[in-house]
A and B are shown apart, each in its own frame.
Chain A
Amino acid sequence: MGDLLDALAVALKAGLGFQAIFFALLAIGINVQFGYAGLLNFGQIAFALVGGFGIAISVSKWGLNFWVGVVIGLAAAVVLALLLGLPTLRLRADYLAIATIATAEGLRLLFRSVSATPVTNGTRGLSAFNGDFIALAPWATNERYRILGTSWSGGELWVALVGWALVILSCLLVWALMRSPWGRVLKSIREDEDAVRSLGKNVYVYKMQALVLGGILGALGGMVYAVGTGSAVPDQYQNANTFLAYAALILGGAARVLGPVVGSIVLLFILQFADTGLRLLIDNGVIPEGLLSSTDVAQIRFVLVGIGLMLLLVFRPQGIFGDRREVMLDAR
């Protein structure tokens, strides 16, 4: 019983830690693009990459201030969004999807390549750039604190606190935008671009604004991740993270302000709980060693999450917060 409580506590920490914040911010960005505007951005991780490396390179390589690094990371995300959007947003939705997925993979390979090593340190990545930020914590960062049965270092706690503040601010921003006429135009574009054009709205500009906003949120996610891990390694930014963020968004409910946030918390909680829970069962001999060894657990938990998502789409396609009537309408 005590073991089970421990497993729950560990999972809770995962659900509230910087990784959950990372996915939450990625998913909020995707929600703006895909959930509201209907844009298929399959390379959200590229925005996180430029965000994280924006700080890392500015501080570690160029010796700039941490906050200048934040600005550089955000600016890089805006530039990336513009570069992706300019050629593709006039075309059908598929083209943005193709461009983003290729960019995400291409950027990661570029950042880890030998020729980029002088700037990005190649596969080893950069570290020791978050000192300025951690030093701002109002408590001692080298001590450990126990909260609800989980142990957090002061630094982790500080990153989580600032991270969740960012998530809350982002949610407020999305909420304020989506209740306004601007949000109405965005949702209409998702339903039918031509109808919106025929009513005198410049669809291209709105799509670009959505892409840039979502990209900035993704970059913020990448920054939280880089600061949380204390390092920026290109291979951390695998495009699988984009799809995990999509999973979080669909789990929570697309086109809902809190959908991506709750989805990320639940997703990370389940992943961690499946991990520790399965290991516990194997260690106690409940699951025989021959059936499943503890080395398989890391993969099996994703299988379990996959099955869970399938069941969700069958029985509750609208996610946790969605409106079933809305989801069941054929989007014509």
Chain B
Amino acid sequence: MRADPNPHGATASGSGASGAGAAGAGAPGAPLQKPSGWQRGDAPQRLAQTALRDVPWEVGVAKPDPAIVVDGVTRTFGGLTAVAVDHLEVQRGGITGLIGPNGAGKTTLFNLLTGFDQPNTGSWEFDGRPLGKLAPHQVARLGVVRTFQLTKALSRLTVLQNMLLGAQGQRGESFWRALVPGTWKSQEQANTEKAMDLLRRFKLDAKKDDFAGTLSGGQRKLLEMARALMSDPKVVMLDEPMAGVNPALTQSLLGHVKDLREEGMTVIFVEHDMDVVRDISDWVVVMAAGRVIAEGPPESISQNQAVVDAYLGAHHDAPLTVEEEDQVLAQAEREIAREEHGGGDVLRSDTTTGKGER
């Protein structure tokens, strides 16, 4: 087995699982078997990056193998248009970063895609299946699972119970079958083993019997991501997974997100930290004022004029010529001089009386 290329092995102070080191991230046997045949610790494949290499850097560009296609989705709150996306495709098996200044409509778009909010117009589909009008739980059952900007750990349930909730198709979750343990005991057993595997991977196994409410903010993020993985999702949507997480744990989280891609999942995430975005994204979509204003590989984004305008404001764009610079400098100097002069005047007239106008 090759050396682990991902930084998730770093023992983050926050993840504090004593004894978890033995079942380290790169340890053989620990990883979950996935149909793709990829194992944790193998070299990353980055198939999506290869596939997206020749895609032009244009808004609304068609992707070679889109998992999610959004068409003409708008959502208005009163007079405010929170989201107005004409066309957007998300490449399957890639990590798509969704960035934009505050209020750009990123979280609203997330809510729309996962059924937590309904759009005013537009349609979107996942694997060719239209997702409009579906309730959140129906979207989740199709394999599109999200996390939340403000972590939603179920405080008064244990970590293990949190995990078990994520499993899909549980027979014991129907009222009548719940009364006959024979119908769900074996499934519960299998789910528990799967949950423990995931908890070991996320270094939360030592905390399995603790209430989720006692975890630190970073651990809750980890738990939420692990819980989402219990449902074997096809698409994972992470809303600011790194917000409020200490830097050491960020590295570990990044590793986990990269692993999702290697296991064949499509990842969409909202993030403000550009270093993180540059590090893990295959493709970046930039939103501002509800619209997609740019998309392309991460390296294309920082040079994109529309993005710079959106973040810094349009009037900061053009570099100053030498004459303009002189002009501005001269004007500033004049102003300073006037202020000093005037300020002194005021001071004098305040302190010394009877002098009057000079």
B164 within 8 A of A: yes
In chain A, positions 183-216 with a C-beta closer than 8 Å to chain B are 183-185, 187-188, 190-192, 194-203, 209
Q: Return B288 CB to nearest CB of chain A, in Å.
A: 26
Chain B 81-121 interface 0/1 with A at a Cβ cutoff of 8 Å (1 = within): 00000000000000000000000000000000010100000
A185-B173, A198-B114, A198-B148 as given contacts; A332 in contact with B164, CB under 8 Å: no
User: Is A196's CB under 8 angstroms from B179's CB?
Assistant: no
User: Is B156's CB under 8 angstroms from A201's CB?
Assistant: no
Q: How far is the CA of A177 from the CA of B230 in the complex (A)?
A: 23
Report the stretch among A14-22, A72-80, A305-313, A322-330 that lies at the interface.
A322-330
* Neighbouring B residues of A191 by C-beta, 8 Å: 154-157
User: Is B155's CB under 8 angstroms from A197's CB?
Assistant: no
A240 within 8 A of B: no
Residue from B154, B164, B171, B230 with most neighbouring chain A CB atoms (10 Å): B154
User: Is A329's CB under 8 angstroms from B155's CB?
Assistant: yes
* Neighbouring B residues of A184 by C-beta, 8 Å: 157, 161, 164-165, 173
User: Is B136's CB under 8 angstroms from A197's CB?
Assistant: yes
User: Is B231's CB under 8 angstroms from A199's CB?
Assistant: yes
* Neighbouring A residues of B154 by C-beta, 8 Å: 187-188, 191-192, 195
Q: How far is the CA of A173 from the CA of B180 in the complex (A)?
A: 11
Q: How far is the CA of A57 from the CA of B127 in the complex (A)?
A: 58
B211 within 8 A of A: yes
Residue from A185, A198, A201, A330 with most neighbouring chain B CB atoms (10 Å): A198
User: Is B145's CB under 8 angstroms from A198's CB?
Assistant: yes
Q: Return B290 CB to nearest CB of chain A, in Å.
A: 23
User: Is A182's CB under 8 angstroms from B155's CB?
Assistant: no
User: Is B116's CB under 8 angstroms from A197's CB?
Assistant: yes
Q: How far is the CA of A191 from the CA of B108 in the complex (A)?
A: 23
Residue from B138, B161, B173 with most neighbouring chain A CB atoms (10 Å): B173
The one of A180, A183, A202, A326 that contacts B211, using a Cβ cutoff of 8 Å: A326
B77 within 8 A of A: no
* Neighbouring B residues of A118 by C-beta, 8 Å: none
* Neighbouring B residues of A202 by C-beta, 8 Å: 135, 137
B168 within 8 A of A: yes
B14 within 8 A of A: no
User: Is A181's CB under 8 angstroms from B164's CB?
Assistant: yes
A176 within 8 A of B: yes
Residue from B116, B156, B164, B184 with most neighbouring chain A CB atoms (10 Å): B156
In the complex, the chain B residue whose C-beta lies closest to that of A325 is: B211
User: Is A329's CB under 8 angstroms from B214's CB?
Assistant: yes
Q: How far is the CA of A184 from the CA of B228 in the complex (A)?
A: 16
Q: How far is the CA of A203 from the CA of B136 in the complex (A)?
A: 10
Q: How far is the CA of A313 from the CA of B179 in the complex (A)?
A: 34
B227 within 8 A of A: yes
Q: What is the total of A-B residue contacts with beta carbons within 8 Å?
A: 114
* Neighbouring A residues of B231 by C-beta, 8 Å: 199-200
Q: How far is the CA of A279 from the CA of B155 in the complex (A)?
A: 47
In the complex, the chain A residue whose C-beta lies closest to that of B166 is: A199
User: Is A331's CB under 8 angstroms from B156's CB?
Assistant: yes
Q: Return A318 CB to nearest CB of chain B, in Å.
A: 11
A194-B116, A201-B173, A209-B175 as given contacts; A187 in contact with B156, CB under 8 Å: yes
Q: How far is the CA of A188 from the CA of B162 in the complex (A)?
A: 8
User: Is B137's CB under 8 angstroms from A203's CB?
Assistant: yes
User: Is A200's CB under 8 angstroms from B157's CB?
Assistant: no
Q: Return B226 CB to nearest CB of chain A, in Å.
A: 12
* Neighbouring B residues of A182 by C-beta, 8 Å: 172-175, 178
Q: How far is the CA of A82 from the CA of B155 in the complex (A)?
A: 29
In the complex, the chain B residue whose C-beta lies closest to that of A177 is: B178
User: Is B152's CB under 8 angstroms from A176's CB?
Assistant: no
* Neighbouring B residues of A188 by C-beta, 8 Å: 154, 157, 161-162, 165
Chain B 127-143 interface 0/1 with A at a Cβ cutoff of 8 Å (1 = within): 00000000111101100
* Neighbouring A residues of B161 by C-beta, 8 Å: 184, 187-188
User: Is A197's CB under 8 angstroms from B140's CB?
Assistant: yes
The one of B148, B178, B230 that contacts A183, using a Cβ cutoff of 8 Å: B178
Chain A 166-178 interface 0/1 with B at a Cβ cutoff of 8 Å (1 = within): 0000000100110
Chain B 271-303 interface 0/1 with A at a Cβ cutoff of 8 Å (1 = within): 000000000000000000000000000000000
Q: Return A256 CB to nearest CB of chain B, in Å.
A: 13
User: Is B137's CB under 8 angstroms from A194's CB?
Assistant: no
* Neighbouring B residues of A194 by C-beta, 8 Å: 116, 136, 148, 152
User: Is B179's CB under 8 angstroms from A180's CB?
Assistant: yes
In the complex, the chain B residue whose C-beta lies closest to that of A190 is: B156
Q: Return A273 CB to nearest CB of chain B, in Å.
A: 34
Q: How far is the CA of A197 from the CA of B188 in the complex (A)?
A: 20
B170 within 8 A of A: yes
* Neighbouring B residues of A181 by C-beta, 8 Å: 164, 170-173, 178, 184, 188
Q: Return B302 CB to nearest CB of chain A, in Å.
A: 32
Q: How far is the CA of A204 from the CA of B157 in the complex (A)?
A: 20
Q: How far is the CA of A201 from the CA of B168 in the complex (A)?
A: 9
* Neighbouring A residues of B214 by C-beta, 8 Å: 325, 329
User: Is A176's CB under 8 angstroms from B179's CB?
Assistant: yes
B16 within 8 A of A: no
* Neighbouring B residues of A326 by C-beta, 8 Å: 156, 211
The one of A177, A185, A330 that contacts B165, using a Cβ cutoff of 8 Å: A185
Q: List 15 A-B contacts (CB under 8 A).
A: A181-B171, A182-B178, A185-B173, A188-B165, A191-B154, A191-B155, A197-B116, A198-B145, A199-B145, A199-B166, A199-B228, A200-B137, A200-B138, A200-B141, A329-B211
Binding site for A on B (CB under 8 A): 114, 116, 135-138, 140-141, 145-148, 152-157, 161-162, 164-166, 168, 170-175, 178-179, 181, 184, 188, 211, 213-214, 224, 227-228, 230-231
Additional A-B contacts beyond A194-B116, A198-B147 (14; CB < 8 A):
A177-B178, A180-B184, A181-B164, A181-B184, A184-B161, A187-B161, A188-B154, A198-B136, A198-B228, A199-B227, A199-B230, A200-B140, A201-B173, A331-B213
Shortest beta-carbon contacts, A-B, top 8: A181-B172, A182-B178, A200-B140, A180-B178, A329-B213, A195-B152, A191-B154, A197-B136
